[in-house]
Amino acid sequence: MSKGNIEQREEKEGQIAEYRLMIDQIKPAPDVFKNCLRAFLVGGSICLVGQLFLTLYAGAGLGEREAAAATAGTMVFLGALLTGLGVYDIIGKYGGAGSIIPITGFANSIVAPAMEFKREGFVFGVGARIFNIAGPVLVYGFIVSSLIGIITFLAG
């Protein structure tokens, strides 16, 4: 490398370092307490809705396992519906990590990529993209559950 190229690169690296320093001085520090409180409230609210459905289904005469399955299905449906309507993104921006409660967060992760491609149509857009995230999860879930079934069968 020539001496001029080395000097230009060093000057550019110095400018980048100065710029990062300016950014660090200007950007506001995150309010950790506020973020934790919001995550707690949003996550707790999602869990409260799930508990209300569980109580409703159990009160309607479903057994414990059936009520739990119906609650999980309802929460996945609500998570997908709210994602499709654009509401889950607003909840996520407000509640941060509190919005990624496993069951509704999973529904959101399935629907969100598909919604980005709805302009391409329901078959080649939504249908093709809906399993971007869910596909590997489902495949590994099927493999592990099959292995556990085989091991349980062989163990007697």
Mean pLDDT, residues 41-59 taken together: 95
pLDDT at residue 73 is higher than 80: yes
Mean pLDDT, residues 115-127 taken together: 66
Task: Quote the DSSP letter at residue 60.
Answer: T
- Say if residues 108 and 115 touch (Cβ distance below 8 Å): no
Mean pLDDT, residues 53-72 taken together: 94
Residue-level pLDDT at 1: 56
Mean pLDDT, residues 151-156 taken together: 89
Per DSSP, the chain holds a count of helices (H) and strands (E) of 7, 0
Residue-level pLDDT at 50: 94
Instruction: State whether the Cα torsion 111-81-65-52 is positive or negative.
Output: positive
Average pLDDT, the chain: 84
Please state, in angstroms and rounded to a whole number, the distance separating the CA atoms of residues 40 and 119.
36
**Which residue has better confidence, 13 or 72?**
72
Length of the chain: 156
Q: DSSP states of 26-43 as a string?
A: HSPPP-HHHHHHHHHHHH
**Which residue has better confidence, 13 or 151?**
151
- The label of the residue with tokens 């520090």 reads 29
